[in-house]
Structure 1
Amino acid sequence: MMSTSVFIRHVTQPGERETVHSIWERHMAPNITTNGDHEAYFYCFDDNNQDVIVVYQQYTNAESAASFLQTPAYLAYLQEVEPYLMGPAEVTAASPIWVKKTS
């Protein structure tokens, strides 16, 4: 089975990026750390826009990416974070074609 990548762009309400990050840390970081299906995860602040968060995720396969969206932690995160976002995230799924080996 092939890995799948997900690129996510969140736009927060003005000045609420740190609030969103705090909610993410509480709900998501512990679950991502222990999720064996996350091969890579980068949670980033946009350097050019104080209200944008950019995320890169790599999962073992598309099914694991889809099932993660149904976990209690993700659903709790969504419910708490939505008031601080301008709207739904921009999400792009992609299939890795080439990956640099680091070992």
Structure 2
Amino acid sequence: MTSFAIIIKHKTQPGKRDEVRKVWEKHMAPAVSANPGHTAYFYCFDNAEPDSIYAFQQYVSAEASQAFLKTDSYAAYLEEVESLLSGPPQVTSLTPVWTKGV
């Protein structure tokens, strides 16, 4: 199995980044922490764009990433966060070839 990673960029409605974070913390933080398919996860605010959020996620496999999208926690997150975002996220799929400390 080859590890798999993604970088996701979310654009929030103007001034809604902190609200999006609260929804993420409610649904996603516990789900990611409990998910053995995630080997690393970084939830980050963009320092240059006040309405942008980036998430870097590393999974044990591409299949594990797809399985996570089918969880009840992810569905609940999407339902609650959709109105706070300005549109769909920009998703970039990656194959890690070297990591430190992960």
Shorter-chain TM-score bucket reads over 0.9
User: 2-side partners of 1:98 and 1:39: how far apart?
Assistant: 14
1:56 has 2:56 as partner:
yes
How big is each residue's C-alpha offset from its partner over 1:12-69, in whole Å with a ceiling of 9 and x where there is no partner?
Answer: 0000000000000000100101111100000000000110000000000000000100
What stretches of structure 1 move > 4 A for 4+ residues in a row? none
User: 1-side partners of 2:99 and 2:10: how far apart?
Assistant: 25
TM-score (norm 1): 0.96
Q: What corresponds to 2:81 in structure 1? A: 81
Q: What corresponds to 1:20 in structure 2? A: 20
1:4-19, aligned counterparts within 5 Å?
4-19=4-19
Q: What corresponds to 2:36 in structure 1? A: 36
Listed as ranges, the gaps of 5+ residues in structure 1 are none
Moved more, 32-41 or 91-100: 91-100
Letter in 2 for 1:59: Y
Q: How many residues align?
A: 102
Q: Percent identity?
A: 49
Q: What corresponds to 1:97 in structure 2? A: 97
Letter in 2 for 1:96: P
Q: CA deviation at 1:99?
A: 1.7
